Chain A
Amino acid sequence: MSLAFSSASHHTAVRLRLGLLKTGAVHSSLTTLPTACCGGWPPPAGSTLPCMVSKSQRFLSTSPCLRAAGNDSESPKFVPPSKPVIVDKTQTVASLRKFLSPEFIPPRQRIDPLKFSIERKDMIRRRKVLNIPEFYVGSILAVIMADPNASGKSNRFVGICIQRGGKGLGATFVLRNIINNQGVEICYELYSPRIQKIEVLKLEKRLDDNLMYLRDALPEYSTVDPEMKPVPFSPTGEVTVNKIKVRMRPKPWSKRWERPKFNIQGIRFDLSLTPEQMEHAQKWAQPWLEYDMLKEYDTSKLEEQIIKEVQQEMSK
């Protein structure tokens, strides 16, 4: 907008914008203008006030609010200081994704479902006290555990999750890290009262459910920096899958990972094995297993039911 305004038209224009369109009562609006244009009185230091160039004698005032201060042709320049957006990262924002921790799903057994429902109640009671976040095999976690023998009574361990096992209250997860060229693995119980805090430093999935082959892989794939900063992840959307293919140490390995029963996607076999060896490993394939109807266990309905139950209980 052009700055060349006649005072009267400019004043009315400003009054219009400020919503003070009163016919005639110009001098009253003069006094009300300062409070309307400024957030409070006296104006905070450093803030630009919507001052107008008062070209007419009538509108001269000694109050600093009405003095000229550069171009004010546009909307009132007063921008309130932006409030800091406090993102509470400790909250389970991951609950926006429909995720059910695998230890909630009961195994297919001849045990009375009452046992599982009572166990689930206990698991939820523990979860109300300690926040157990969503994580997968391949995510990087930091666990603070109470340790009577450690200095400061608590012990922090950072590592990559290589396995999640167990059902119910005995559910465990194994974290692996390499410290001072020594590989260390700790198997933690999720619901143990000794665990004080679990934080997810990096949430991601891998191509496999079980990363035990990292024991035979080159050490660079299991090293996690203990002072790593948490990588922010969005609470909605899909979890990123890290499609990394790991290089292995020379054979022999602790297990024959090339065999089809392990069904490992995340190893670069072409670097360690010849195609003949890969074909030889296929001799142990059991292709009939995928058609075995007795091994079928469809958990979709059970999962939905349990998710609803868990969400109800957690919100109480």
Chain B
Amino acid sequence: MALPWLSRSLSGLLMETASLNCQRNFSVSAVAAAIQKMTRVRVVDNSSLGNTPYHRPPRVIHVYTKNGVGKVGDRVLLAIKGQKKKALIVGHKMPGDRMAPRFDSNNVVLIEDNGNPTGTRIKVPVPTHLRKLEGDYSKVLAIANSFV
């Protein structure tokens, strides 16, 4: 099957092809935690910045909450392709409330400073309780295809 060093760096995460080129030989554990600094995230919209392959996966470098923990609907600052970009969390691996969906990957949508999304479509299902943020992120909800 896959070569051992490749499988180790994959660590069972569902990442885009950008991270498949990563050949670091470090041990990673698939932790089911919320999003904080240095988490690798998956960009789920169809923006060029999120989908072009790069030798490093996009990482969170700051979470805009009182504690450093990011849940669904929080804004974060990502480091993608050597640049800083704001993003909105649309799903994480950490189990949350009952009846709320839990995703198999930490999903994030790239955003401008005023809250407008960078991409034009989100194929991945998005939790319905994001609709509460109708005022700020209504444009992000408008480009979402399916809700869970």
Contact = CB atoms under 8 A, between A and B. Distances in A.
Interface of A: 145, 147, 149-151, 155, 157, 172, 179-189, 192, 194, 215-216, 249-254, 272
Interface string B26-44: 0011101000000000001
A187 B102 contact: yes
Given A252-B11, A253-B12, A215 B125 contact: no
Contacts of B130: 149
B142 interface: no
A150 B124 CA distance: 16
A180 B125 contact: yes
Contact of A194 (B95, B99, B105): B99
A149 B131 contact: yes
Main secondary structure on chain B at its contact with chain A? loop
Contacts of A250: 1-2, 7, 10
Interface in B109-141: 123-125, 128-132
Contact of B104 (A184, A192, A194, A253): A184
A212 to B, nearest CB: 11
9 contacts: A149-B129, A149-B130, A172-B98, A179-B125, A182-B104, A184-B102, A185-B103, A186-B148, A252-B29
Contacts, number: 85
Contacts of B29: 252
Given A180-B146, A183-B104, A185-B102, A252 B7 contact: yes
A189 B101 contact: no
Interface in B1-32: 1-2, 7-8, 10-12, 14, 28-30, 32
B92 to A, nearest CB: 12
A150 B101 CA distance: 13
A157 B125 CA distance: 12
Contacts of B91: 182
A187 B1 CA distance: 33
B128 A149 contact: yes
A221 to B, nearest CB: 13
Contact of B125 (A182, A188, A253): A182
B102 A192 contact: no
A115 B124 CA distance: 44
Given A180-B123, A180-B125, A150 B99 contact: no
Contacts of B1: 250, 272
Contacts of A150: 128, 131, 147
B95 A187 contact: yes
B100 interface: yes
Contacts of A254: 12, 30, 32
A4 to B, nearest CB: 74
B81 to A, nearest CB: 23
A185 B9 CA distance: 25
A143 to B, nearest CB: 9
B75 to A, nearest CB: 19
Contacts of B105: 182-183
Contacts of A184: 101-104, 125, 148
